[in-house]
Chain A
Amino acid sequence: MTVETAPEQERIGTGAGGSAWATIRRGLSLTPEFRKGLVGTLALAVVATIGKIIVPIAVQQTIDTGIGDGAPDMPYITRAVVLCAAAVILTALASYLMNVRLYKATESSLATLRVRGFRHVHDLSVLTQNTERRGALVSRVTNDIDQISTFMQWGGLMIIVAFGQLFVASVLMVIYSWQLTLLVWICFIPLLIALPRFQRWLSRAYTVVRERTGDMLAAVSESVVGAAVIRAYATERRTAERIDKSVDANKAAQVRAQTIVGFVFPLTEIVAAVAIAGIVVLGVRLGVSGDITAGQLIAFLFLITLFVSPLQTATEVLNEAQNAVAGWRRILGVIDTPADVADPGDDGVELPRGPISVAFEQVHFAYPGGPPVLRELSVGIQPRSRIAVVGETGSGKTTFAKLLTRLMDPVEGRVTIDGHDLRAVRFSSLRARIVMVPQDGFLFDGTLEENVRYGKPAATRAEIQLALTELGLADWLDGLPAGLDTPVGQRGESLSAGERQLVALARAYLADPDLLLLDEATSAVDPATEVRLARALEGVTRGRTAVSIAHRLSTAENADEVLVFDGGRLVQRGPHAELVAEPGVYADMHASWVSAAHS
């Protein structure tokens, strides 16, 4: 396998360009479920928010009618309290409905986005997929979406509630006294201005925490994944030191972030207390001049509490908002990355099944920004022929396989099957007719049967059994503890590398393609088994076209024709017997193979 570095390959977007608003708008435009009924939800939110000022109003009414000249107006107060209680229950109901609607809308829309992103990752070309680590791709459809979800259901709601709360409180305040309202705002405005700065500190601190956590997890995993090597080299102490260092660095970063929160969080309390003291001082002066009643003044003290919680949580909310926007960018980055090797879909050609012929016409390929790896390749493969492809690492043989299976498209020229340009053939048709068995036999966590069935979802157990028998694997299967029901483990890890390749081969064979392409597909199998397998394959591929990227001499010897690649060019082709007789790349390779095998 060659290491593919693709410096200028179309990378999966990070959506770094564009404002946060543009990102959110684009995100919402992709999720109709969220917009549907949004007006109703917002209306409920308004009702729920208005509920917050019931208590201050009730306090004002009680004080102003309850004290002063003699006996309080009890019937009036009772009526007011009952009315307010009804209003509280009503707003609680509104709040419940709003919550449920919000959860439903956000979760449905995010599920849609998640599934769409997931599907699109599979639609991206292999090259594009390889520009990003698998874990990062996974997080785009998991953690990043979860972050949006947390924000929409808590932070986003807090923003709406906070603004609503500050607004209705301010309106009521202005009705009671514009002078005191002004005072309250003068007290809180410096805090509002400082909040984004606090949030930046916090966000930086959390970024450090995330990095340290990553380091810590990497260090911890060494003690598990590297257990054998650590013991064999007696490096327990060194490993422990490295782990301890990373664990402590992580702890220090967490404590630091927590300390910032610890200092920022109570600031609101102090500002609120200053505002309350100011209200008392200014309020009694206004009271003396008759501009305000005692009830109104006391109601102000209650109204201040409505300022505290939005501002206390503001840094956290802002932080979450930032994360959510980042999450949105990353999921949109996936969805907006064009699938550069695209399925023509319904416009494409559907080819009938049957023997398949392939032609490469003046094909040229280079990885983006890299030197050409395949030049001016023109070659035809006859139906039903068995082809072996040989060449050193980096000769272009793997590229040849990827172009033939349309994992990539040529930069120039075209590849055709049965005379049709591959780019015009529907994926459903193409994948049914041409199947590649890659070198790394990746298996899904499940039983052996399930993995073989992946090649043909409708296959019965008997068919699967038959396929394995036809490949000469019945003895091997019988030797397994639970036969077809043997669990293969995560990524097939319970089986040996060679056994994984056997299952991968059976899976491809069951798919019953017209052209089977083996990319060093039996490299990890022991020699005796490999020879048996080669013989069986010869039988089962009769009548089909078979292309093998060869890593062993015998494969090339048995082929109808050998394609020899060197430095990105097809330098020789013909049957083994002819090629070995003429001086050239193949004869040299053959000589070194023979000497290796017989020395």
Chain B
Amino acid sequence: MWKIRHWKETHRVANKVTSAVMRQGLRVLGVAVRAEKAVFASAVVASALYGGMTVASAWALGWATQNVIIPTFGKGEIAAGALWTGVLLIIGTALLKSIGIAGRRIFAGVMQYRMQARSRRDVTKQYLRLPLAWHQRHPTGQLLANASSDAEAAWAPLAPLPMAVGVVVMLVTAAVGMLFTDLVLALVGFLVFPAIAVLNLVYQRRLSPLVTRAQQLRAEVSEIAHESFDGALVVKTLGREDLEAERFRRRAHELRDANVAVGRVRGLFDPMLEALPTLGVLAVLGVGAMRLSTGDIVSGQLVQVAYLFTLLSFPIRALGWVLAELPRSVVGWTRVQSVLEAEGSMVYGEETPGRDEPATLAVSDVSYSYGETEVLHDVTFDLPPGRTVALVGPTGSGKSTLVQLLVRLVDPDTGRVLLDGTDLRELAYGKLAESVALVPQQTFLFDDTVRGNVALDLPMPDEQVWAALRVAQADGFVSGLGAGLDTRVGERGTSLSGGQRQRLALARAIARRPRLLILDDATSSVDPQVEARILYGLRDRAEASTVVVVAYRLATIALADEVVYLDRGRVEDRGTHQELLERCPGYRNLVTAYEREEAVRAALDADAALGLEETEVSA
């Protein structure tokens, strides 16, 4: 749905080719020109060659008419010298023009695609640099669009830009040429070509809001289809196919109407833009015939001007194409810029933590807020080295936020998180990751091989990868995959089940031999029996480490040496499972819910049985 909002915004900001949009758009083009001076210069030179040669080819034809055709028909004999000169002129200008066209197209492409690639690289670099808190404030879809469609839209006018420059050269050359040929004929040109330009402007102003609307609706139609097909099971099980079809139909019909509206404007203006130069040629012929009769021009000149009109009528539209792309370009550019200008980044210190023994972690007076809402209040606890601590709390108690603080995905508003006594903020970049590994709740796999996903950028022998997979109970299914460690997984690779993905993510953490391992409900999709094997494996590993597990399952909690119980953003209690069961009512309530349920039921059943007996007795 964000996409729709996105488009609505586009619609509001840029539905008109206003002068403000024009100015902004030209500034954006200026950026590209400065960035790719050489390529742009080459494209312009090529395009100017194309423009000049277009005019020259009309002149060559006029020359051939005047010096070859007319004399031949007049005298009845061919002037061989002039004939071959004419042939040479015609083919020569065409060859140069072709070189101009090829150069213009290729350089324009190089420039456009280079700028696109540059924006994409810059934007994704920002994504990688900006802190996670920034990511959390921006919808995923918007960020993806910034790097794809916005980066494309920003530089879209670069494709027709060199041609437009060439057309300007063409028009100036033509105007000068016509002035030298005949003033009266030039006057016809000066009436017709500005008229075409104005008509073009009106056309683009009318068209662009309609095109924007159609694009917006296209995005909405796609969004509905996406959502509806994603929820196909719900649609089916509730029998809502008709409802969905109706929802889709309404939007599809709006899109149809929008496209027809675009078609009306195109259908109206395109023939007008074609008819106008044709009428111009006819005017040239009419006026020209008169000038011929008074002897002011010769037939070759008439042919030359008429031919020029024919050649110019199409390229002159390129000016409109640039204009048409400007509003989208401005919006795309603005969005890309807002990412590039985003402030804030994680600042790293110089410290290097130790490497060998399990880590000590201390959380001291930590508070954290999302916007106005504080979700963690003065949280304090410590993790002694080599211990396994369970972080337990009801949904929404702040467990996942706390976990993010422990691996410095976000920094606390107040308070400190200390690894072996060093504030996380003082550690050098990459040092924390060498010591601490997080397996998040939401599994993320890279579009890469199994090996790549486990090892990431660490050089690692295959045995080490397999060892990690074994602890994560993933060795079995990985060896069953077609290409073993070389099997591609992730977005566009082999599809794995949720449990299998979780186990790969776990192996990734284990493979780095972290001194502190943090599992944020990381085995929720794994069968309980497999989970138990994983947890035992973790405990019995040769490389001891401190472990934090966020969990609900009693079996998981039971493996922990200690429990930290979190409720509504505060540490309510800490101790062994047994101690907390005895003294912390909230904890007891949460973890024994099932047992109590059993007990209550047993009592009810007993009551019911008793009741039944009584009934029998009374009967």
Q: Judging by beta carbons under 8 Å apart, are B128 and A62 in contact? A: no
Whether the Cβ atoms of A229 and B444 lie closer than 8 Å is yes
B181 at the interface (CB under 8 A from A): no
Are B267's CB and A103's CB within 8 A? Answer: yes
Chain B's closest residue to A122 (CB) is B241
The 9 lowest CB-CB distance pairs between A and B, nearest first, are: A431-B239, A103-B263, A99-B267, A273-B94, A258-B109, A266-B98, A234-B433, A95-B271, A527-B593
Q: Please pick, from A121, A126, A218, A507, the residue contacting B233 in the complex, using a CB distance under 8 A.
A: A126
Q: A224-B144, A283-B69 are in contact. Are A85 and B282 (CB under 8 A)?
A: yes
A288/B77 in contact, CB under 8 A = yes
Contact B98 A142 (CB under 8 A): no
Inter-chain contacts of B227 with A (CB < 8 A): 444-445, 490-491
Q: A220-B120, A258-B113, A524-B524 are in contact. Are A142 and B101 (CB under 8 A)?
A: no
**Contacts A81-B282, A529-B395 given: A99-B109 contact, CB under 8 Å?**
no
- Whether A96 contacts B69 in the complex (CB less than 8 A), given A438-B237, A527-B593, comes out as no
Residue of B nearest to A101 (CB): B267
A397 to B480, CA, bound (A): 24
In the bound complex, residues from chain A placing their C-beta under 8 Å from that of B596 are 531
Count chain B CB atoms within 10 A of each CB in A97, A118, A232, A235 and give the residue with the most.
Answer: A232
Residue A403 CB within 8 A of the other chain = no
List B contacts of A77 (CB < 8 A). 285-286, 289
Chain B residues contacting A155 (CB-CB under 8 Å) are: none
The interface residues of chain B lying within 8 Å CB-to-CB of A177 are none
Interface flag for A375 (CB, 8 Å):
no
* Docked-complex contact B532 and A111, CB < 8 angstroms: no
Question: Is the beta-carbon distance between B228 and A270 smaller than 8 angstroms?
Answer: no
Asked whether any CB of chain A lies closer than 8 Å to the CB of B383, the reply is no
Stretch at the interface among B170-178, B328-336, B360-368, B547-555: B547-555
Q: Which of B135, B235, B527 contacts A122 (CB 8 A)?
A: B235
A198 within 8 A of B: no
Q: Is B184 positioned at the interface, with any CB of A under 8 Å from its CB?
A: no
| Nearest chain A CB to B308 CB, angstrom units | 12
- Neighbouring A residues of B404 by C-beta, 8 Å: 228
Q: Which of A180-188, A236-244, A347-355, A365-373 contacts B (4 or more CB under 8 A)?
A: A236-244
- Inter-subunit contact B229/A240 (CB<8 Å): no
A288 touching B395 by the CB < 8 A rule? no
Interface of B is mostly: helix
Question: What 0/1 readout, one digit per residue, does chain A (449-462) give for beta carbons within 8 Å of chain B?
Answer: 00000110100000
Q: Is B236 an interface residue (CB 8 A)?
A: yes
Residue-wise interface mask of B (210-244) relative to A, using a CB-CB cutoff of 8 A (1 in contact, 0 not): 00000000100110011111111111111111011
Are B94 and A272 interface neighbours, CB within 8 A?
Answer: yes
A224–B552 alpha-carbon span in the complex (Å): 29
Establish whether residues A298 and B303, one from each chain, have CB atoms under 8 Å apart when the complex forms.
yes
CB pair B120 A142 closer than 8 Å: no
Nearest opposing residue in chain B for A301, CB measure: B61
In the assembled complex, B143 has its CB within 8 A of some CB on chain A: yes
Q: Give bound CA distance, A442 to B231, whole Å.
A: 6
A146 at the interface (CB under 8 A from B): yes
Q: Quick check: B222 and A138 within 8 Å, CB to CB?
A: yes
Q: Show 6 A/B contacts (Cβ-Cβ < 8 Å), sorted by A.
A: A134-B230, A142-B218, A153-B263, A254-B109, A269-B98, A442-B234
Is B286 within 8 A of A531, CB to CB?
no
The distance in angstroms between the C-alpha atoms of A111 and B255, with both chains bound, is 8
- Report whether B238 and A259 are in contact in the complex, using a CB–CB cutoff of 8 Å: no
Interchain CB contact (< 8 A) of B124 among A88, A100, A220, A228: A220
Partner of B252, one of A59, A114, A234, A288: A114
Q: Is the CB of B263 within 8 A of A269?
A: no
- CB pair A134–B229 under 8 Å, yes or no, is yes
Tell me the interface secondary structure of chain A in the complex: helix
- Residues of B within 8 Å of A122, CB to CB, are 228, 232, 235-236, 241, 244-245
Among B120, B264, B270, B292, point to the contact of A216 (Cβ < 8 A): B120
With a cutoff of 8 Å between Cβ atoms, the chain A residues found around residue B271 in the complex are 48, 91-93, 95-96, 99
Q: Which residues of B contact A593 (CB under 8 A)?
A: 528
Contact A527 B120 (CB under 8 A): no
Question: Contacts of A597 on B, CB cut-off 8 Å?
Answer: 554-555, 594-595
- Chain B residues within 8 Å of A240, by CB: 124-125, 128
Pick from A17-25, A415-423, A552-560 the stretch touching chain B. A552-560
Q: Is the CB of B279 within 8 A of A442?
A: no
Contact with A along B307-327 (1 / 0, CB 8 A): 100110010000000000000
Q: Are A284 and B69 in contact, with the CB atoms below 8 A?
A: yes
User: A58-B281, A108-B256, A122-B245 are known contacts; what are 8 more A-B pairs with Cβ within 8 Å?
Assistant: A3-B496, A81-B285, A226-B446, A251-B116, A251-B117, A427-B241, A526-B394, A596-B528
Note all chain B residues with C-beta closer than 8 A to A74. 289-290, 293
Whether A115 touches B249, Cβ cut-off 8 Å, given contacts A281-B83, A294-B70, is yes
B301–chain A nearest beta-carbon distance, Å:
12
Whether A598 and B554, one on each chain, are in contact in the complex, defined by CB atoms closer than 8 angstroms, is: yes
Cβ of A302 and Cβ of B310 under 8 Å apart?
yes
Q: Is A102 part of the contact surface with B, judged by Cβ < 8 Å?
A: yes
Q: Which residue of A119, A227, A511 is within 8 Å of B241 (Cβ)? A: A119
A530 and B601 contact, CB distance less than 8 A: no
Q: Which of A236, A274, A437 has a CB less than 8 Å from the CB of B129?
A: A236
Complex contact B248–A236 (CB within 8 A): no
Q: A1 CA to B498 CA in the complex, in Å?
A: 8
- With known contacts A231-B409, A553-B594, A92–B132 Cβ distance under 8 A: no
Q: Shortest beta-carbon distance, A534 to chain B, in Å?
A: 7
- B432 adjacent to A554 (CB under 8 Å): no
Contacts of A442 in B (CB 8 A): 230-231, 233-234
User: A67, B292: Cβ atoms under 8 Å?
Assistant: yes
A218–B491 CB distance below 8 A = yes
Stretch at the interface among A380-388, A465-473, A496-504, A539-547: A496-504
